[in-house]
Structures are given as C-alpha cells and as structure tokens.
Structure 1
C-alpha cells in the first residue's frame, strides 16, 4: 500500500505543470481514461492516438487507454462517447469522418455536433492531388482543363463512397467546374494498383499514403490541398499556388468529450494534448504521416473548426448527391 501511495504521489507531481489552475486539480478523472478510436488498431489514426496516449500516461495522474471500437464507419465508437458520462473518463479520437456523420447517416442515435464538446484539434494532414505517372497532364490547371473538355470521360478512384478521398475529389471537381466518374474501392490499398497501371488515372489521397508513391515516381503530384507546401515534396505547389485559392482539404485528428463535460476539465485535457503536440520527439515520430501538429488549439477554436468542416462537407455531399449504403 505504501508503495502504491508513493507511485500515485509521483504521478501527481509529474502532472502538476499541466494544470492551469490549482482549483482544477480535483477535476482530473479519478479512473483510467478511455480514448476511443473508431478505427482499427495499427492504422494511420490509431498510431498517433496511441503515441499521445503513451506520452500522456507518463505525466498525468491517470493512465490513458486506447480502445478501438469499430463498426458502421465511425458510428459505433462515436456513439460510445456521445452516451458516456460527462466526467472526462471517456474521450473520442476522431477524424474528418466525424464532420460528415450527420449528412451521411441522418438516422443516428446521437448528434455529432450537439452531443460532443471538441477538446483539441491535434493536427491536420493535407490531401494531395495525384495522377498516374503517364497521364498527359503535369499541372493542376491542365488536369482541370482536360476534365472540362471531356466531361465524364475520365475516372477517379477513392477509398470508399462518402470517405475523405471521395469528398476531396468532389470538392476539386466543383472548384474546377469539371466532371469525372467516381470509382470507389474498399480502401486505398486495393485502389492503387489500378492507379499505377493507368486503369484509373486520378486519385486524391491523404499525404500519408500518397507521398511514398510520389517520391518513388510511381505517381505524379499536381498540388497539395493545403495552405503550405509539404517539406518532403517541396516542388509540389499548393492548390492556391496552382490557381485554385481556397481549395483546401485535409483529414484531421481531433479529441472530443461528451457535451456537458465541465469546462475546467476540458481545458485541462486540452492543455495536456497541446503539450504533447509541441514535443519535438512526437513531431519527429509523426513526420512520416505528414501531420501538421497543432499545439495552440483551444476548445473554442476546435469547435469552430469542426462546425466549419461540417458545413463545408454537408454542402459537397448534398450537391454531389453522395449517399452511403
């Protein structure tokens, strides 16, 4: 018992710098915190979630335990958090998928906006517009012109209907005033062989998975859908530099709590995640994912970001008539 008491005291001492106000000390959860990840273990969302959980567990009074709850896209895992007690013991680590739940799944048992309190925007990963290496375009304006000249002639691949790649592609087509045929696959991995052999000439992909193909010369990157270039492919312009200002698309990682979680606790969790996001060692470990970590996020800025994303993608889903089975 004495040894456990000493260990608990040591953990509390390590956590002290993370607490913004002395009065908030008692607000930290008294049980291990469940960080629900609505994606499979080992994937590009699970990896950073576990990295954050490991770092936080070393300095907070309670351990952060990642729990993968998959099913119906991200619906199952999100519902777990929406209906969890408002005590900070259950958090959600979700992506852009959270912002499109409402228009894609209108019969949800929870509200993706009203039932959640955004805690921190952890980071963003831009999309990259790529084509087969032999496709006869070398710039984004050339691609837009070709698709406008031959509406419906060319196909583009995505990782699935209503997913981030599909939405980003429709966003580009709307900006370009062009048309192309959507060919959904069950993930990026089965789509890439057809992109590489030229059967499907176009794919807009998350930088995490797009970069290896671009760097090996197997696909050609036309633009990064971000406000700044990616350091590992510095010659690839942003969409704004390529003549499409405002055309930005990311997948992003965000921590959310059940709505109604006390704000002092929300702010405390926010400070903890921001501290980890600012660590050079964490930034280095996530460099391969091309994630732009955000260490200055606030609950207010995360809330505004989520609402903007939800409005943006709801319009794309409606205009493109996107539905999921």
Structure 2
C-alpha cells in the first residue's frame, strides 16, 4: 500500500509540469483583447487592427481590438495592468509608454513593474523638417543658423511632452543649439504655420511628414534613424548628416500584464513575429513608413523599452518638460 501511494504521488508530481505546459500551449483559450489606448482609425489603431485580423486567421481564438482612450494612454494602460495574468488581455502601445513615469508621477499603475514587454512590432522614424523657404538645405546648415542666431527661431510640436516635443529637444541638445518651443493641439494644427513659415521647424513622424515633403511643401533635412527611408531615398540619416546616434522614433509594442507566464509570453511574441514576416503586411504598413521588427523577442522588446525609458527620462529631466 505504501509503495503504491509513493508511486502515485511521484506520478502526480511528474504530471503537474506537463499539465501546466499543456494548458499554456493552448493559448489563447478565449478571444484575446488587444487594448489600444488611442482612437479608432488613427495611425496606432490601423496596424493594431491589421495584426489582430491576421492573427485571428491562425489562432484558435479571435483577437479583438478594444480602443480605450482617456488621460493620454493612461486609461487603456490601466485596463491591462489590472487584467488577469493569462495573456488574454494585451496592450498595444507606443513610445508614449516609455515617458509615463517621468511625465505623470501619480499613476494608477507602474509602467515598468506592472507590464511585461512581449514584442516590438515596428518603428516609424522622426524626420527633421523645415519650411521650404528657410535658408537651410542640410542639417549642418540648420545647426549653423541656430548657432548664429540663438533663440530667434521657433519649432512646432503636437503638444508639451509629446513625441515630437521630445524628439526636437533631443536634437537641439545633441546639436548644442536653442530654438523656441511652440506647442499645438496636434500636428494638423501645427502644419499650417510650418507651411507659411510662422514656425519654420518641426520634427515630425515620417507618416505625417511624407506627403508634405513629396509635394515640395516642406524640406526634409534628416531622418532620425540608422537607415534611410525608402520613400525619401535622397534624405540622409542623422548619422550621415554628422550626428551619429541621434535617433528618435514612434514605435509600436505589445505588452502583457506583469506575471504572465513566460511560455505564454513567448507564444504571443512568436505569433506577432509570424505576422510581421508576411510580405503583404509589410507592404501595407510601408504606407505608414513603419519598419517592422521581424525577429523581435520578449528579451529584445524589454531591452528596447529600457533604452527608451532611459533616453526620454533624461531629456524630460534636463529640459524640465511638463505636460499641459
């Protein structure tokens, strides 16, 4: 009797890890909520829905995009931070996640401790752009202009503490020059003044910059990336323009609640990676100037997040940036 009890107990201990592995391997067990803390139809929502649609074709359950806006990205992020740690509720966020801790000291969650980076989906570089009549045809000429007349020129952004504001301050501080910040309520509100020269400088996301540059309405001086944009093959990178390492992006990342089992995190990351490698998906997102990360992993995503938090928190502190 004792021998049978010992063997049964041993069998149970052996079976437990296999049972857990089988349970984890069945992810997802119900429809997955992909929470997007931005409005439907916007430049973050579009790729999120594309990935969700493609994943729904191959996963055993559907992936459903849920737009939860409010307080910037705080409301949507809070939903995921407090969700069950089972991989059934995920966050699709941008570079905005990396600045939350510095800009909002009182949050209902910890942007680092309460989330696990799963997959870096892709990056969209910033482009340093000027009014077409500004006497600066290269980045070096713009820097010289700002050095000769410090404080004379203005630059536009989509608002205090936003990605455009931070990227602009990164450029100015790296170049050792000054310009006056003029915040607007979004890029659409800023562009008329950039076009008429009232505020002649803007560092903007490639997605929104491209139409103005290709029509000759603004002049792109440099792409804040390690490689040139295919849509702007004649525009140098910041490294080629004399500022190596001066890079800024709006990036897209999938995050899960902290404590989600590692095997589940790996499965989610691999699923997003498979979609990112599809040529049709790459072609469609090229219209947004997004470069997809086809070999991202949870480790790669976590390293990227740490680097971005360090970079932007330093800029926020040095420039004493505050949100409205």
| CA deviation map 1:1-39 (0-9, x unaligned) | xxxxxxxxxxxxxxxxxxxxx846644032110000000
Kept after mapping to 2: 8 A contact 1:38/1:74: yes
- Say which SS state the counterpart of residue 147 (structure 1) adopts: helix
Kept after mapping to 2: 8 A contact 1:158/1:183: yes
Match of 2:164 in 1: 165
Match of 2:147 in 1: 148
TM-superposed CA distance for 1:227, in Å, is 0.1
- Residue segments in structure 2 that go unaligned for 5+ positions in a row: 1-20
Match of 1:298 in 2: 297
Structure 1 residues 24, 147: CA separation in 2 closer, same or farther (over 3 Å shift)?
Answer: farther
- Say which SS state the counterpart of residue 58 (structure 2) adopts: coil
Question: 1: distance between equivalents of 2:268 and 2:88?
Answer: 11
Question: 1: distance between equivalents of 2:23 and 2:278?
Answer: 24
Kept after mapping to 2: 8 A contact 1:239/1:247: yes
Match of 2:54 in 1: 55
TM-score (norm 2): 0.92
TM-superposed CA distance for 1:74, in Å, is 0.5
- Say which SS state the counterpart of residue 253 (structure 1) adopts: strand
Kept after mapping to 1: 8 A contact 2:28/2:59: no
- Count of residue pairs brought into register by the alignment: 304
Q: Does 1:190 align with 2:189?
A: yes
Kept after mapping to 1: 8 A contact 2:24/2:263: no
| CA deviation map 1:38-71 (0-9, x unaligned) | 0000000000000000000010011100000001
Kept after mapping to 2: 8 A contact 1:214/1:221: yes
- Say which SS state the counterpart of residue 272 (structure 2) adopts: helix
Match of 2:173 in 1: 174
Alpha-carbon RMSD across the aligned residues, in angstroms, is: 1.0
Kept after mapping to 1: 8 A contact 2:119/2:254: yes
- Say which SS state the counterpart of residue 227 (structure 1) adopts: coil
Correspondence 1:1-325 to 2 at 5 A: 23=22, 26-325=25-324
- Structure with higher Rg: it is 2
Kept after mapping to 1: 8 A contact 2:130/2:200: yes
| CA deviation map 1:75-103 (0-9, x unaligned) | 11111111111011100000000000000
Question: 2: distance between equivalents of 1:23 and 1:89?
Answer: 16
Q: Which runs of at least 4 in structure 1 moved beyond 3 Å after TM superposition? A: 22-27
- Residue segments in structure 1 that go unaligned for 5+ positions in a row: 1-21
